[in-house]
Amino acid sequence: MKKQNTFIVGAAVTAAVIAAFWLLLVAPGLTGNEINMTRGVTSQSGLAYDLHMIILWVCVVIGVIVFSAMFIAIALHRKSRGHEAAQFTHSTKAEVAWTIIPVLILIVMAVPATRALVNMEVAPETEMTIKITGFQWRWKYEYVEDEIEFVSSLHPDSNAARRLNASGSPTDVENYLLEVDKPLVLPAETKIKFLITADDVIHSWWVPALGWKRDAVPGFINEAWTEILEPGVYRGQCAELCGKDHGFMPIVLNVLPKAEYEAWVRQQQGQALAQK
């Protein structure tokens, strides 16, 4: 009977913990209200997501074991049921177990973590290079091979609506404070190298869907690479406090299929020639 009660309590606790995590992490995604880490649209973001989920479920298993043992002890081995606590000063077996087991868990988790870090830091042979320069409070983009460059700033509609005594309301502006006048146009399924720096103070170029960010430091060039797997519009922000208008430095990527991107490049080059 005791074994049966212990099993029932343990199963109930385990089910409750799993149900709680399901409600927190899975159910919101089914309704479009994602609160878990998103997978993103690059190989780096996918590796980071997989690593996150591995570590999350390792923590869930550890939590289930620990809390099940705790609640079983509370429910079935309490003093009111006639149980008395064992008296001992130490347990060599327990000490060895709770040293070796965590070390093994950390080693197992270190393998995918190392793979993800190496993938993010070691760039393969890239197909194009973008130089990004941060200013107060805008971004300059230079397409190194195609000799295209422009400055991307907060969209005029958002810039007007954010000011005191503005005639318009922020609620009337689509993508308020998240839109720019000139987005960074990139091709999908292309390995891209980024050279990131700044011209005045430290900024940080961050688009969550890419799965990484890099500081833009005056006098230094930080490198990054990515391959965006899906066309679409992806938004980011300066992630380093850089002055009074830090919150008004959005980043917008317009990722196009390769054929459309090549047409856009030809259009930009034609406009540049016409202006000369």
Give pLDDT tens digits for 109-140: 898 899 888 888 888 899 999 999 999 999 99
Q: How far is CA 193 from CA 122, 143, 166, 208, 213, in A?
A: 11, 10, 40, 17, 13
CB 130 within 8 A of CB 144: yes
What is the per-residue DSSP string for 177-190? TT-BSS-EEEETT-
Quick one: pLDDT at residue 63? Answer: 86
Give mean pLDDT, residues 59-84. 84
Domains of the chain with CATH codes: 2-80+90-121 (no CATH), 128-275 (2.60.40.420)
Quick one: pLDDT at residue 271? Answer: 86
Left if phi > 0, otherwise alpha if psi is -120 to 50, otherwise beta: which for 232?
A: left
Average predicted confidence (pLDDT) for the chain: 87
Range with top average pLDDT, 47-61, 114-128, 191-205: 191-205
Give mean pLDDT, residues 28-52. 79
Quick one: pLDDT at residue 171? Answer: 86
**Which contiguous run of DSSP H or E holds residue 133?**
strand 128-135
Percentage of residues of the chain with pLDDT beyond 70: 87
Using CA atoms, how far apart are residues 170 and 176, in angstroms rounded to an integer?
A: 6
Quick one: pLDDT at residue 30? Answer: 47
Quick one: pLDDT at residue 31? Answer: 46
The single-letter DSSP state of residue 250 is E
Residue 95 in tokens: 């000490």
Question: Which of 33-37, 49-53, 159-163, 186-190 has the lowest average pLDDT?
Answer: 33-37
Comparison of pLDDT for 34 and 101, the residue scoring more? 101
Comparison of pLDDT for 253 and 77, the residue scoring more? 253
Quick one: pLDDT at residue 189? Answer: 95
| Cβ-Cβ contacts under 8 Å for 108 (sequence gap 6 or more) | 58
| Residue 76's pLDDT band (cuts 50, 70, 90) | confident
Quick one: pLDDT at residue 165? Answer: 77
Question: Which of 7-11, 68-72, 167-171, 237-241 has the lowest average pLDDT?
Answer: 7-11
- List beta partners, residue 149: 142
pTM above threshold 0.85: no
pLDDT digits (tens, 9 = 90+) for 2-30: 555 555 555 666 666 666 666 565 555 54
Question: Which of 190-194, 231-235, 264-268, 272-276 has the lowest average pLDDT?
Answer: 272-276
Quick one: pLDDT at residue 226? Answer: 95
Single-letter amino acid, residue 201:
V
Per DSSP, the chain holds a count of helices (H) and strands (E) of 6, 10
